[in-house]
Amino acid sequence: MDYREVYRQWCEDPYFDAETRAELSALTDEKEIEDRFYRQLEFGTGGLRGVIGAGTNRMNIYTVRQATQGLANYIVSQNGQEKGVAIAYDSRRMSPEFAEEAALCLNANGIKAWVFPSLRPTPELSFAVRQLGCTAGIVITASHNPREYNGYKVYWEDGAQITPPHDKNILVQVAEVTELSQVKSMKKQEAEAQGLYRMIGPEMDDAYMEELKKQSIHPELIPQAAKELKIVYTPLHGAGNLPVRRVLKELGFTQVYVVKEQELPDGNFPTVSYPNPESEEAWELALKLAGEAEADLVLATDPDADRLGVYCRDQTSGEYISFTGNMSGMLIAEYILRERTADGTMPENPALVETIVTTDMAKAVAGAYGVKLFEVLTGFKYIGELIKRFEEQNSCQYVFGLEESYGCLAGAYARDKDACVAVMMLCEAAAYYKTQGKTLWDAMVEMYEKYGYYKEGLATMTLKGIDGAAKIQEIMDCMRREPKLSLGGFEVLAVRDYQADTRKDMKSGEVTAAGLPRSNVLYYELSENAWCCVRPSGTEPKIKFYFGVKGTSLADAEQKLERLKADLLNQESR
């Protein structure tokens, strides 16, 4: 059936509500119709993500139902009906509706659904799956994507996003749901009467808070510094407002200023077009308030509160300095490893975990404290998977994990990145340094001087639609056919192709296994401790280019990074 026939079915079939049919009947742009119906919105290894709207290639109640039916079929095949599924959602448009549709589809398949009564951070969903002993979890969120997006992420019983074999098996089940008649649903009142639809009570929030506070190392320092340490925080209209403010208050931070214009949940994100802490635009209001309050720290969490962005005031210049996810993650890692080593609370066989595109400073920090470092593919689900493996094998003790895209996790109470614990640990570190007359920027400079001037960057190319997807694949194919010998003045020492599971030494020609699950990723090991990595995004129509260098100063590192970035992007644009 071609896209036109599917479009006609959606316009005419009474299965679809009147609003959906009216939205589609009003379309006149043939390209728009094609984009909405040329494919089924792809259920990837993490779930769904797409633009909200009517059509098979959009996020709507029908695509959510279809994906949930596939998930339900898999859960039934695993005899997980009684254990049930926990469901959370953030502030995005249609999030409550999508959460309810998912729950009622599960209920119609005899599967219990535990649903949060209002928006919650994604990491609390990860925590709740484990607390409730559920088979799986669902969170409705598009994370930091623009306002027109929403998404649907699936977690398994360990609290981590689905990984092999469950991800592939669920993909198969979702792909087999091809007819509307295969999708089940039921009325909410009936589901509640049968005990299938259940609300999660406030005791879950309390338990989550207690786990966050257990990660604190020096709570006794906070009251001393809290009188002077000023913190500006914005939840960017998302789910972080209540939990972040609560944990800071319960730890004793008193000088917390919240950006009023961005305090309340709003899926239209009226003050910012791109609710992403990585976006400079998102900081305008927070930095304005910080200047007025003369704040030490400026913090922002994304809509589902799993990513944290940071600015710090330089006490010398009075200017606010932006921290990358690598920088804030390394500050937290250094604080945890140093202080736990000093006070004797470091567990046996401690482990620090990072993704392959995260800063190489992590290797130096881990080595300084005798902590074993593990690398995984891009995506925090692989960090969560490794925590589970540690526990099953009774091998290492997970201490901290991070990825460059502003996500980290201290402790193993959850299996996904958590901006709430990141805020807490960073503020505690700031309090620690405040008692020494230092800022977080001072601490960062000390780390550069101790470990080296590591600097990283990211560039993306957005290529939408059918043609864009083909172009992205063409770039990856070309890079495999014509391997680079040098990039940005650095010699290419080895190339890892994770899709082929190979690592080729460019000098000797020796080929060995890359050693991680197969993925469409190319990684270049370069001379002088530099590197770069190329991969298509798993959630957006983009191809991503990551870069990392080690310099002798901040200026030297910046020059090296820009040279590397320009060379690679220039080659790919030819």
Active site members: 143
CB 65: neighbour CB atoms within 10 A?
Answer: 23
Residues sharing a CB contact under 8 Å with residue 567, sequence separation 6 or more, in sequence order: 487, 488, 489
C-alpha 418/C-alpha 413 separation (Å) is 10
Q: Which two tokens stand for residue 98?
A: 């999508």
C-alpha 159/C-alpha 416 separation (Å) is 8
Q: Establish whether the linkage from the previous residue to 96 is cis, with ω within 30° of 0.
A: no
C-alpha 93/C-alpha 75 separation (Å) is 28
Q: Which two tokens stand for residue 509?
A: 């020609």
Give CA angle at 425 (399, 421), nearest 5°: 80
Helices 419-434 and 440-451 cross at an angle (nearest 10°) of 90
C-alpha 353/C-alpha 379 separation (Å) is 12
C-alpha 89/C-alpha 69 separation (Å) is 19
C-alpha 85/C-alpha 107 separation (Å) is 10
What type of residue is 509? G
Closest CA to 297 of 287, 305, 307: 287
C-alpha 280/C-alpha 536 separation (Å) is 23
What type of residue is 8? R
What type of residue is 412? A
Residues sharing a CB contact under 8 Å with residue 333, sequence separation 6 or more, in sequence order: 352, 362, 365, 366, 400, 402
Report which DSSP code applies to 180: G
